[in-house]
Structures are given as structure tokens and as C-alpha cells.
Amino acid sequence: MDLITVYWMNTQKDQSTHTLVFLLLKLHVVCEFYLGYLEILG
């Protein structure tokens, strides 16, 4: 079981927390992608 699944299961009882974690995960992925893109260009 991965960390995201654990987070998802733990936050099903609190929808606002689940949404916040989801947004933070999406932001992290976007930042990683952007930094990788800059490295390719640089």
C-alpha cells in the first residue's frame, strides 16, 4: 500500500483535508515536472 492510498483512506472521513492533500500532491507533481523541464532546457 502506497502513501497516497493511505492518505486517501485516512482523509475520506474529512473531505476538506482530502481536498487539501490532493491539491498539495498535484502542486508537487507540477513543480517536479517544471524543474525537470528547466534542467532539460538548461
Burial level of 25, CB count in 10 A (0-12/13-18/19+)? middle
What total number of domains does the chain contain?
A: 1
Backbone angles phi, psi at 15, to 5 degrees: -65, -35
**Helix axes 15-41 and 3-11, enclosed angle (nearest 10):** 150
Global pTM reads 0.51
pLDDT in tens, 7-40: 777 766 677 777 888 899 999 999 999 999 999 9
Distance between CA 38 and CA 42 in Å, rounded? 6
Range of the domain at 14: 3-41
